[in-house]
Structure 1
């Protein structure tokens, strides 16, 4: 009986002293996989941009989000109480569409957005010009 009590105490001691490893998952920021360089636009420039630009919008949120804000080369736009996160600046709709396809696994709801003078316009209107 004494041996079984000692053995039980020993096992309790061993199991209670071992540290359980708790894995903390890293909170990673997804960055798009880019093979082609992205043309950047200076959205804060005082000069009016008369050129039509296509970009890929990856999110539109009521509150700002650090995960999206920390993505390399992302541009933030405030519109109608939403913070919109966009990637890239392309001269053609085809280039923007190809880029959207490349990042579609990381950003499921991404879509091409046309900008004229830094103001969103419909794709239909943009393609008629």
Structure 2
């Protein structure tokens, strides 16, 4: 009896299971045509070099520093960097940095080329 039941069960299992066929969705081929704009229509963007004073770089955000007047936040290398001021010359940034060191001892001048940090020596060569 057990053998008959087992055979019936196996038979039902093998022949009654549904096999679904997956239908592949049609793929639309999009052809991209390369275009070349005339030189007169291409805008040449100049590099923007500024100097700023970085007062902190923290793993977690700081509400007090975020609310300082004129502070800019930059997110680099999993750090939140707090920078004050935007100066066109290194000398202006140095003067501001000296004043800020009274309150933020670790403040230093940071050069930014198109909003990306670069070495001061590289910035001064431009």
Tell me the equivalent position of 1:118: 115
Q: Distance in 1 between matches of 2:100 and 2:116?
A: 23
Deviation for aligned residue 1:71: 0.6
| Number of residue-to-residue matches in the alignment | 82
Aligned to 1:109, the other structure's residue is in SS state coil
User: TM-score with structure 1 length normalisation?
Assistant: 0.62
Moved over 3 A (4+): none
Q: Distance in 2 between matches of 1:49 and 1:113?
A: 20
CA deviations over 1:61-92 (Å, ceiling 9, x no partner): 00000111111110001001000000000000
The unaligned stretches of length 5 or more in structure 2 are 1-44
TM alignment of 1:41-120, pairs within 5 A: 50-120=47-117
How large is the RMSD of aligned CA atoms in angstroms? 1.1
Query: Are the structure 2 counterparts of residues 96 and 67 from structure 1 closer, same or farther at C-alpha, using a change threshold of 3 Å?
Result: same
Matched, 1:128 2:108: no
Q: Any conservation in 2 of the 1:49–1:118 contact (CA below 8 Å)?
A: no
Structure 1 unpaired stretches of 5+: 1-47
Give the Cα–Cα distance (whole angstroms) in 2 for the partners of residues 118 and 103 of structure 1.
Answer: 21
What CA distance in whole angstroms lies between the structure 1 residues aligned with 2:46 and 2:66? 24
Q: Secondary structure at the match of 1:85?
A: strand
Structure showing greater Rg = 2
Hey, what's the Cα distance between the residues in 2 that align with 1:57 and 1:81?
16
Give distance in 2, aligned partners of 1:80 and 1:59: 14
